[in-house]
Amino acid sequence: MKYQELRNHILGSHLMRHDLEAFLIQGAYIEGLLKIYADYKLYNETEGKSYSNKLLGAIRSEIEKYSLFGLIELLKKAECVSNSQKDLLDNYRKRRNKVLHDLLGQVTEESFERDLVDVYKMGENIINDNEFKGMEELLDNIEKDVEERKKNEINKQRILIPEINRENIDNKTEKE
C-alpha cells in the first residue's frame, strides 16, 4: 500500500500549498514507478533470468539509469504502454523539464507557482489514468505476494528450529 501512501503525501503537499514539494515528489513517484514497472516487465519476459544472467543483469542496471524520456521510449517500444499513455507521459516530461529549467531562470515567483500547479495537475492526470493505476495495482500485488512469501518462509523456519533443536538434544543424549 506504499503507492497509496505516496499518492496521499503528494496530494497533502498540494493541498497545503507546498507546490514545489508536491511537484518534486510527484515527479520522483512517476519516474520511480515506471522504473519498477520496466524492471518487472524485463523480469517477467525473461522468466526471472534477468536476476541471474549477466547480460540481462547489465540491462536491468542500465534501466535504473534511464531518464524519464528513456523510460517512456523503452516502455513504448516494448509495447508496455499505449500511445495515449506515452503522450501523457511525454507532455508531462516536457512541461516538467521546462519548469525545472525555469527554476534557475528569471521567472516571477507567481508565474513559477502557477507552473508548478499546472505540472502537478498534468501529473495527477497520469496518476489517475487507468493504465497507470493498473501498473500501481500490479506492482502493489506483487509486493504483497513477496511479503506473504517471506512471512510463510519465516513461519516455516520457526517450525523447523524447535525440531532441529530437539534433534540436537536427542543426538547429545544418545552420545552420553
Q: Is the pLDDT of residue 175 over 80?
A: no
Note whether residue 42 is domain-resident. yes
Note whether residue 19 is domain-resident. yes
How many independent structural domains does the chain possess? 1
Higher pLDDT, 48 or 35: 35
Note whether residue 91 is domain-resident. yes
Note whether residue 134 is domain-resident. yes
Mean pLDDT of the chain: 86
Q: Is the pLDDT of residue 124 over 80?
A: yes
What is the 3-class SS of the chain, one letter each residue?
A: CHHHHHHHHHHHHHHCCCHHHHHHHHHHHHHHHHHHHHHHHHHHHCCCHHHCCHHHHHHHHHHHHCCHHHHHHHHHHCCCCCHHHHHHHHHHHHHHHHHHHHHCCCCCHHHHHHHHHHHHHHHHHHHCCHHHHHHHHHHHHHHHHHHHHHHHHHHHHHHHHHHHHHHHHHHHHHHC
pLDDT digits (tens, 9 = 90+) for 140-152: 888 888 788 888 7
User: Where in the sequence is the domain holding 114, given as residue range(s)?
Assistant: 2-139
Note whether residue 172 is domain-resident. no
